[in-house]
Structure 1
Amino acid sequence: MWWSVWWVWVVAGFLIGGLEIVAPGYIFLGFAIGAVTTGVFLGLGILSGGPAFLLLTFAICSLVAWFALRRTMGVRAGQVKVWDKDINDN
């Protein structure tokens, strides 16, 4: 079936990555990395199985990618700007 074809996962990953351009903020990037990673694992023959196992692999890879992105590109201490004066105040 379609879920066991490696290039379907890679194409889905790139399409999800395209959503990141529309809605920036690293929301979809973890899912895109997870889908591409699952496709690469399928293509290399590391994975094989039914849809439940592949979705579990996709979820785990996406979660690991999200944690890695959060660690490298997340909010840093002191990055938030606190406004104490309004531009309209005289």
Structure 2
Amino acid sequence: MWGEWWAWMAAALILAVGEVLLPSFVLLGFAIGAAVVGLILLVGGPLALWLSASIPVMLLAFAVTSLISWLLLRRFIGLRYGPVKTFDHDINDN
């Protein structure tokens, strides 16, 4: 089952739905990693054969792509630097 592309895509879909429920970019990074592994297995070729030959290699590819995608998400979408916006008055005060 680890070598089936549809299992990785199903895991990616479940993790993406989980990201909607718990927004933190962590599950989205895992979803992107699972989708990349599923896409590699779907397309085929020598990389897919190498990945599907060993479960530890496939899990390593999943972990590395998840980490890279999480770091990229964090870099381009994540943290906002700068001053925190504070309000000194209430809109209802006259």
Residue ranges of structure 1 left out of the alignment (5+ in a row): none
**What code does the residue aligned with 2:53 have?**
G
Give 3-state SS (helix, strand or coil) of 1:3's partner: coil
Q: Where does residue 71 of structure 2 map in the other structure?
A: 67
Per mean C-alpha deviation after superposition, the further-off stretch among 65-74 and 29-38 is 65-74
The structural deviation recorded for 1:54 is: 0.7
TM-score computed with the length of structure 1 as normaliser: 0.83
1:4-23 CA-to-partner distances (Å, cap 9, x unmatched) read 00111011001011100110
Distance 1:55 1:27 in 2: 17
Bigger proportion of residues as helix: 2
Match of 2:60 among 39, 56, 59: 56
Q: Where does residue 37 of structure 2 map in the other structure?
A: 38
TM-score computed with the length of structure 2 as normaliser: 0.79
Residue ranges of structure 2 left out of the alignment (5+ in a row): none
The RMSD of aligned alpha carbons is 1.8
